[in-house]
């Protein structure tokens, strides 16, 4: 297996998770989305490990322009977005070659969301160039069987980003996060390509609280219809 699909980090699968999954039909391809710091990678990893699915991660740590973009802003926006676009095309091609677009896959990103960031960060001329390159690549991303959209306000995201202490993210501002949240809100308001589970992740701790994860997993298993909302209160979980 090459760098496209990753082995999920080990997690303890609780008895509650096993009971929820017993005999249940599950979505084959799950995409997890949301702004920086909301818990996408944590949730994707735990889902992949719990469901015994392959894991595909966003290559943020591999982008050599990203930390410069966070520090210095728009002057590095175009190479940052083009790196993600070209890497995404390569990921899709590799996944098809490995037949990993079959069921049993979790990704910590939705492939269509690249354009969301491009619209937010590029000026009109840069965005036009980005679109031309995107069209020439003829990327045809597969549609997930379920998209999980994690939401949290900017102050919560900023606190989580600061707590994890990644050097490349030190330049992220509250204003940038607010603009990003607005872009995500607009994107998913109109999103209808796959069933969507919208999760208020403000007060849940998916990394350290097994009960919180099991409560979310129950929503995944019980998902029925094109769109549902999960607004948990941690004291009730």
Query: pTM to 2 decimals?
Result: 0.86
User: Domains, the chain, ranges and CATH?
Assistant: 28-62+101-115+141-236 (3.40.50.300)
Q: Who has greater pLDDT, 187 or 18?
A: 187
E strands along the chain, which residues?
Answer: 5-6, 29-33, 54-56, 105-107, 146-151, 196-200, 227-230
Q: What is the DSSP letter of 228?
A: E
For the segment 141-188, what is each residue's pLDDT rounded down to a tens digit?
788 999 999 999 999 999 999 998 888 788 889 999 999 999 999 999
Per-residue pLDDT for 1 more than 50? no
Return contacts of 188-192, CB within 8 angstroms, 24+ apart: 188/33, 188/149, 191/147, 192/226
Closest CA to 83 of 114, 126, 106, 108: 114
Of 67-81, 85-99, 210-224, which gets the smallest average pLDDT?
A: 85-99
**String of DSSP letters for 125-188:** HHHHHHHHHHHHHT--PPPPSEEEEEE--HHHHHHHHHHHT-GGGTT--HHHHHHHHHHHHHHH
Candidate from 62-76, 124-138, 153-167 with smallest mean pLDDT: 62-76
| pLDDT level of residue 113 (50, 70, 90 thresholds) | confident
Closest to 79 measured CA to CA, from 89, 58, 65, 61: 65
Indicate the DSSP class of residue 101. T
106: CB partners within 8 A, 6+ apart: 8, 29, 30, 31, 32, 44, 47, 48, 51, 53, 54, 55, 56
């Amino acid at each position: 297996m090459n760098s496209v699909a990753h082995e999920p980090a080990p997690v303890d699968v609780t008895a509650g998770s096993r009971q929820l999954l017993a005999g249940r039909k599950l979505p084959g391809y799950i995409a997890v989305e949301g702004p920086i710091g909301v818990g996408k990678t944590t949730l994707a990893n735990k889902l992949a490990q719990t469901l015994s699915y392959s894991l595909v991660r966003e290559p943020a740590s591999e982008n050599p322009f990203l930390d410069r973009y966070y520090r210095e802003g728009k002057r590095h926006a175009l190479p940052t977005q083009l790196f993600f676009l070209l890497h995404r095309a390569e990921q899709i091609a590799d996944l098809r070659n490995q037949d990993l677009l079959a069921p049993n896959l979790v990704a910590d990103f939705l492939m269509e969301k690249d354009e969301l960031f491009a619209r937010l960060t590029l000026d009109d001329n840069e965005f036009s160039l980005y679109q031309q390159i995107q069209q020439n690549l003829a990327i045809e991303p597969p549609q997930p069987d379920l998209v999980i959209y994690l939401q949290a306000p900017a102050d919560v995201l900023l606190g989580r980003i600061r707590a994890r202490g990644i050097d490349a993210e030190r330049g992220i501002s509250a204003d940038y996060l607010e603009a990003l949240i607005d872009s995500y809100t607009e994107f998913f308001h109109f999103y209808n390509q796959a069933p969507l589970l919208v999760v208020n992740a403000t007060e849940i701790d998916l990394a350290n609280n097994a009960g919180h994860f099991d409560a979310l997993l129950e929503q995944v298993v019980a998902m029925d219809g094109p769109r549902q909302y999960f607004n948990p209160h941690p004291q009730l979980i």
